[in-house]
Amino acid sequence: MDRRQLLAQTDLAALQRTLERRIALPTESQNRERAPELRRYLEAELAPELRAMGFACELWDNPVPGAPPLLFAERLEDPALPTVLSYGHGDVVLGDESKWTKAASPWTLERHEGRWYGRGVADNKGQHSLNLQALAQVLAARGGRLGFNSKFLFEMGEEVGSPGLKTVCERQRERLRADLFLASDGPRLNQQQPTLFLGSRGVMNFELALELREGAHHSGNWGGLLANPGVLLAGAIHSIVDQHGVIRVEALRPPPLPAAVRAALADVQPGEPGGPAIDGDWGEPGLSPAERVFGWNSIEVLAFRCGNPDKPVNAIPPRAQATMQIRFVVGRDPASFLPALRAHLDAQGYAQVQLRLAGAEIMNATRLDPDSPWVRWAQASLRQSTGQEPVLLPNLGGSLPNDCFAEVLGLPTVWVPHSVPTCSQHAPNEHLPEHTLAQGLQIMAGLFWDLGEGWPAGTGRAQDRS
C-alpha cells in the first residue's frame, strides 16, 4: 500500500463508534464525583486500544493529592529509530445538560446536518481518538510496523489546569524522552484551512480588590463625601489597559515581533462566518488582527463586581473586585508581572488596591521557531495530504500545557488541531464538522506515514527508509 491508497481509506464509521462510547463517559474533571469515570476512561477506553496496537501501558499516580491519574503508553520498535511523543486529555468541562438542544444529552454523540455533537467531541476526545485511529491505520498498512517509536501521555485534568502534569514530566523525563512532540488540541484558524501551531500563549489570572469600609452607605446622604471603590477600581484597571485594549504597563508588553513570526502571520486572517465580528479599533495599533491575537499580549477583565448588580440599591458600596487575565507570548518572564503591576498601581496612586494571583498556576508561553525543519516537514506533509496550503500559526492564541513538553522535556512541538473556532467548546452543543474530522484522519495518517518514511534533515535524526 502506498500513501495515496492509505489516505483513501478514511473510516468515519469506526471513529463514530469509538466516540459514541467515549462521549458516553461523563469525565467532568470539575466534578469531584466523577473521579471513577476519569480513571475508567484511561483503563477501559484508551489502554485496550493502545495495547491492541502493541503499546505497553502504565497508569501513573498523580503527584498532586486527589488529582486524577495519567496514562503512559509506549511502543518501541527499535532503539535506533527516532521517537514521537503524543498527548491528549480525556477530561471535559461540566456537561451543562439542561441547555443542550442538538443532542439528547451532552453524553450522547449525535449527528445533525454535517456536524457531530457531544461533550468532548472537540475538546479533546474527538481529537485524540482521531489520532489513535490514524496511527492504527498506518500500522496496519505497513504490516505491523510504524518505522518509528511512539509514546503517548494522557491526562484527565487539563480542564482544571493540568495539576501534576509538569511534575510528572520532570520526574519521568527519561521515560518521556523523544525527538518530536506531535499532538492535537485547540482550533484551526477556520473550518476550511488545515492548520499547524507551534506553541501557545501563556496565561496568568490576577485579582484586584478594594475594600474601603464596612457596609454600604446611602448615596443621597453620603454621595460626594465617600470614595466609591467601583470608580477607583475602574480607574486602576484603565491605568493598566486603556479604552482600546492597549496595554499601558511596559513590563506587560511583549518585545517586538520576530521577523519569522511576522512573516508566518502575514497572510493569516482570523475570524470566520458564525463568529463575532472583529473590532478593528481594539488592541495594539499598527498590528494586523493576526498579530494582535497570535503575536502580542492581551489583558482582559473576566469579571467585575461592585455592589449587587442583580438588585442595585441607592448606596455607595464598601468594596469592589475584578478578576483579570493576561495572555502573553514568549519574551517576558511571567514571574515579573505581579511585581510590575504592584509598582505601577502604587505609582499611579492606587496603593490601596490589593493585588494577588488568582486561579490555577501560571501557564508559560511557548513557540517553536517557524524556521525549524520540523515546521517545513509538517507543512509539506499537510500540503500533500490535503492539496491545500496549511495555515501556520507560531502559537495558539489560547493556552495549553505545552510548556511541559517544550521546556521541561525540551522537545520541538508541533500541534495539528482538528477543532474549529465556532465549535461551542466549553458550551452547550459542542460539535465538530464532519468534513473536518474526515480531513483530520487523512492529515494524521499522512503525518504518521511520513514519519516512517524518513525524518527531515536538520533534526539530528534524519534518515531515509523509503
What is the average per-residue pLDDT within 93-118?
A: 96
Q: What is the pLDDT of residue 360?
A: 66
pLDDT of 463 above 60: no
The three-class DSSP label of residue 29 is coil
If asked whether residues 209 and 190 sit together in one domain, one would say no
Structural contact between residues 368 and 448, judged by C-beta atoms closer than 8 angstroms: no
Q: Is residue 266 domain-resident?
A: no
197: Cβ contacts below 8 Å, ≥ 6 apart:
186, 392, 393, 394, 395, 396, 415, 417
Q: What CATH number is attached to the domain comprising 353?
A: 3.30.70.360
Using CA atoms, how far apart are residues 172 and 174, in angstroms rounded to an integer? 6
Buried b / exposed e along 440-457 (16+ C-beta atoms within 10 A)? bbbbbbbbbbbbbebbbe
Using CA atoms, how far apart are residues 139 and 447, in angstroms rounded to an integer? 13
Q: What CATH number is attached to the domain comprising 460?
A: 3.40.630.10
**How many other C-beta atoms are found inside a 10 Å radius of the C-beta of residue 285?**
8
If asked whether residues 436 and 452 sit together in one domain, one would say yes
pLDDT digits (tens, 9 = 90+) for 358-367: 976 788 999 9
Using CA atoms, how far apart are residues 288 and 270, in angstroms rounded to an integer? 10
Q: Is residue 329 domain-resident?
A: yes
% the chain with pLDDT above 90: 93
Parent domain of 207: 202-260+280-363
If asked whether residues 317 and 384 sit together in one domain, one would say no
> Could you tell me the sign of the dihedral formed by the alpha carbons of 188, 407, 169, 77, in that order?
positive
Q: Is 209 exposed, middle or buried (0-12, 13-18, 19+ CB in 10 A)?
A: middle
If asked whether residues 215 and 306 sit together in one domain, one would say yes
pLDDT digits (tens, 9 = 90+) for 56-100: 999 999 999 999 999 999 999 999 999 999 999 999 999 999 999
pLDDT digits (tens, 9 = 90+) for 333-353: 999 999 999 999 999 999 999
pLDDT of 371 above 70: yes
If asked whether residues 160 and 238 sit together in one domain, one would say no
> Could you tell me the sign of the dihedral formed by the alpha carbons of 161, 165, 167, 170, in that order?
negative
Helices and strands (H, E) in the chain, number of each type:
14, 21
Query: Where is the domain boundary, 363, 378, 396?
Result: 363
% the chain with pLDDT above 70: 98
> Could you tell me the sign of the dihedral formed by the alpha carbons of 15, 21, 24, 29, in that order?
negative
Residue ranges in 68-201 assigned as alpha helix (H): 125-141, 165-171
**How many other C-beta atoms are found inside a 10 Å radius of the C-beta of residue 224?**
7
Q: Is residue 334 domain-resident?
A: yes
Nearest to 440 by CA among 463, 422, 458, 417: 417
Q: What is the pLDDT of residue 465?
A: 43
Using CA atoms, how far apart are residues 148 and 452, in angstroms rounded to an integer? 6
Q: What is the pLDDT of residue 412?
A: 97
Query: Where is the domain boundary, 344, 363, 382?
Result: 363
Phi then psi for residue 432, to 5 deg, are: -135, 145
pLDDT digits (tens, 9 = 90+) for 300-319: 999 999 999 999 999 999 99
SS (H, E, C) 169-208: HHHCCCCCCCCEEEECCCECCCCCCCEEECEECEEEEEEE
* Helix then strand then coil, % of the chain, to nearest 5: 35, 25, 45
If asked whether residues 353 and 425 sit together in one domain, one would say no
Average pLDDT over the chain, rounded to whole? Answer: 95
What is the average per-residue pLDDT within 314-325?
A: 98
pTM: 0.91
Query: Where is the domain boundary, 339, 363, 387?
Result: 363
If asked whether residues 83 and 172 sit together in one domain, one would say yes
pLDDT digits (tens, 9 = 90+) for 236-281: 999 999 999 999 999 999 999 999 999 999 999 998 888 889 999 9
If asked whether residues 74 and 44 sit together in one domain, one would say yes
State the total domains in the chain.
2
pLDDT of 328 above 90: yes
Q: Is residue 332 domain-resident?
A: yes
pLDDT digits (tens, 9 = 90+) for 173-219: 999 999 999 999 999 999 999 999 999 999 999 999 999 999 999 99
Nearest to 301 by CA among 203, 206, 426, 399: 206
Measure CA 350 to chain center: 34
Q: What residue has cell string 493585588?
A: 355
pLDDT digits (tens, 9 = 90+) for 393-404: 999 999 899 999
